[in-house]
Amino acid sequence: MSDFKFETKTFYDALNQNELIGSKCQTCEYVAIPQRYICPACHSEKMERLVFSGKATLAAYTVIYIPPTEMVNAGYDAKHPYCTGIVTLEEGPRMSAQIVGLDLSQPQNIKIGTPLKMTIIERGPEGTSKKVLAFEPA
């Protein structure tokens, strides 16, 4: 085994360094995000660290007008909606994340398959904001 740690903290530590990481199975090449200790496909423990390119395409999305409390605290509401989506990473796996930089006044014009790239945004009230992963048009 390498010294690669398969903990949630490892994933967020990498994100703070602008790195999106996961794991790749050395036996069957299954790619997982966040990183996994055991391959979900073949149960191998030969997992290696993978740094994603950050390139993705939009697979599904929804525009949220009535946000949960955390997002209300971050400044979103019916007049300031946000977009959350499922993206397909260049390396294969899908994940959900906030999508920024889209014109939400015409959500019907948002296209599935739009090329995206990862970005790190600060979300939350000033002083207590945290870095979160988001995607924006490439």
Binding status of residue 42 toward Zn ion by CB under 5 A: yes
Binding status of residue 44 toward Zn ion by CB under 5 A: yes
CB 87 within 8 A of CB 135: yes
Q: According to CB under 5 A, which one of 10, 19, 27, 124 is a site residue for Zn ion?
A: 27
Q: According to CB under 5 A, which one of 41, 100, 104, 121 is a site residue for Zn ion?
A: 41
Binding status of residue 25 toward Zn ion by CB under 5 A: yes
The window from 9-17, 22-30, 47-55, 84-92 that contacts Zn ion (CB under 5 A) reads 22-30
Binding status of residue 28 toward Zn ion by CB under 5 A: yes
Query: What is the distance between the alpha carbons of residues 90 and 117, in angstroms, rounded to a whole number?
Result: 10
Please report, as ranges, the residues that interact with Zn ion according to CB under 5 A. 25, 27-28, 30, 39, 41-42, 44
